[in-house]
C-alpha cells in the first residue's frame, strides 16, 4: 500500500511541471485530452445530425434552436427543420 501511495505522489509531482518529465507528461495528457474531445464532438454532431430521429429533432430544435441546428448540420433553413 505504501508503494502505491509513493508512486502516486511521484506521478503527481512529476505531472505538476516542476520537472522536464512533468512537462512532457502534461503535454502527452493534454494532447490525448484534445484528441478525445475532438472525437467526442464529432460523435455528438454525427448523432445530432444523422442518427437522431427527425421527430426528436423537430421537437427539440424549434425557433432559434432550429437555426442553430441547421447551421451545425448544414440542413438548410430553419423552416425546413420545423415543418
Confidence bin at 15 (pLDDT 50/70/90): low
C-alpha to C-alpha distance for 6 and 16, rounded to whole angstroms: 15
pLDDT 10s digits, 22-49: 777 778 888 888 999 999 999 999 999 9
C-alpha to C-alpha distance for 74 and 69, rounded to whole angstroms: 8
pLDDT 10s digits, 53-82: 989 988 988 888 888 888 888 865 555 555
Q: How many residues does the chain have?
A: 83
Residue 52 · residue 75 · CB < 8 Å: no
3-class state of residue 18 by DSSP? coil
Contacts of 82 (CB under 8 A, 6+ apart): 58, 61, 62, 63, 66
Amino acid at each position: 500500500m505504501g508503494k502505491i501511495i509513493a508512486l502516486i505522489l511521484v506521478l503527481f509531482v512529476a505531472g505538476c511541471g516542476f520537472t522536464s518529465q512533468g512537462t512532457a507528461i502534461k503535454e502527452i495528457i493534454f494532447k490525448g485530452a484534445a484528441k478525445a474531445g475532438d472525437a467526442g464532438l464529432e460523435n455528438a454532431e454525427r448523432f445530432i445530425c444523422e442518427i437522431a430521429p427527425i421527430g426528436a429533432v423537430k421537437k427539440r430544435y424549434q425557433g432559434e434552436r432550429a437555426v442553430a441546428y441547421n447551421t451545425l448540420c448544414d440542413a438548410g433553413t430553419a423552416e425546413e427543420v420545423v415543418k
